[in-house]
Amino acid sequence: MRAALLLLLGLCLAGCTGAQGHPKGAVVASFYPLAWAAEQVLPSSERVVDLTPPGVEPHDVELSPSDVETIQDARLVVYLGGGFQPAVEDAVGTRNGPSVDLLEGDDDPHIWLDPIRFARALRLLARGAGGDASADAGVGELRRLDAEYWRGLARCDRHVIVTSHAAFGQLARRYGLTQLSLAGRSPESEPGPRELEELIRNVRESGATTVFAEPLVPHAVVDTIAREADAKVAILDPIEGLSEARLAAGEDYLSVMRDNLTALRRALGCR
């Protein structure tokens, strides 16, 4: 009898779960901000799986066969198109179930760093998820966050933010700032010697007193440019992924966005 029960349990686990122990029929989000969005929109009974492991830079994600199986078995896949995570896009293209691309044709994929643009993405996700999905509560949180940013950045001595890569364009446009990035939209791209000299000159001419680094990316280049431009180094988090330790400590999208606002106010001399 005991052996029969164990066999039955094993068959149930094999049939009811997908890759890496994820249940079949889960909602799969390609990386952290989209997983956060899905959790705001879907009922608490719905399982949301973040395809990018905690603390991993999402541009670096390479899918294992079990990751592809997880995507194939998902009830819904939430992702960003436009080449942000090409491996995810390729896997989504081979599945039969519904998928929602939250990019909606934007040129800049970092839509979650603009609370109002992100609110629009939550509405799109709710429509794509169907059923009891509702974006009302999440949209309300994002509108309050937007109001905090407008108040916090209303009176500042400076308006140029120097970032390690071009992740903050959507945020800069929303709040009347100018982004000066040290690399393109992928944080892995590094400047050559001649470009490095030009960047140091640009930082000096901008009047910026701070160069922003990121938690998930080594910042040797940032340190060099800041030192040569007589500027400080601070953290501005693009929130592309949070480590297990940070998640366990209770950090989430909203708390990190508020930490970013504090960092911006300090760097820009806001009152």
> What pLDDT sits at residue 191?
75
Alpha carbons 141 and 144: distance in angstroms, whole number: 5
pLDDT tens, position by position, 192-231: 788 899 999 999 999 999 999 999 988 999 999 999 999 9
194: left (phi over 0), alpha (psi -120 to 50) or beta: alpha
Torsion of CA 34, 188, 214, 55, to 10 degrees: 50
Report DSSP letters for 31-48, one per residue: SHHHHHHHHHHS-TTS-E
Q: How far apart are CA 226 and CA 222, in angstroms?
A: 6
Place of tokens 């940013």: 149
pLDDT, residue 23, reads 60
Q: How far is CA 168 from CA 43, 173, 174, 212, in A?
A: 31, 9, 10, 11
Name all domains of the chain by residue range, CATH numbers in brackets.
Answer: 18-141 (3.40.50.1980), 153-268 (3.40.50.1980)
Burial class of residue 2 (count of CB atoms within 10 Å of its CB; 0-12, 13-18, 19+): exposed
Residues making up the chain, counted from first to last: 271
How far apart are alpha carbons 33 and 240 in whole angstroms? 7
Residue 13's pLDDT is 36
Q: How many angstroms separate the CA atoms of 24 and 130, rounded?
A: 18
Would you give per-residue pLDDT tens digits along the chain (271 residues)? Answer: 434 433 333 333 333 333 444 567 899 999 999 999 999 999 999 999 999 999 998 988 889 999 999 999 999 999 999 999 999 999 999 999 999 999 998 999 999 999 999 999 999 999 999 888 999 999 999 999 999 999 999 999 999 999 999 999 999 999 999 999 998 655 556 777 888 999 999 999 999 999 999 999 889 999 999 999 999 999 999 999 999 999 999 999 999 999 999 999 999 999 9
Q: What is the pLDDT of residue 189?
A: 64
pTM for the structure as a whole: 0.89
State both tokens at 214.
């990121």
Q: 25 is written with which tokens?
A: 């029929």
Dist CA 232 CA 229 (whole Å): 9
Query: Are 178 and 163 within 8 A, CB to CB?
Result: no
Q: 110-133, pLDDT tens digit by residue? A: 999 999 999 999 999 999 998 889
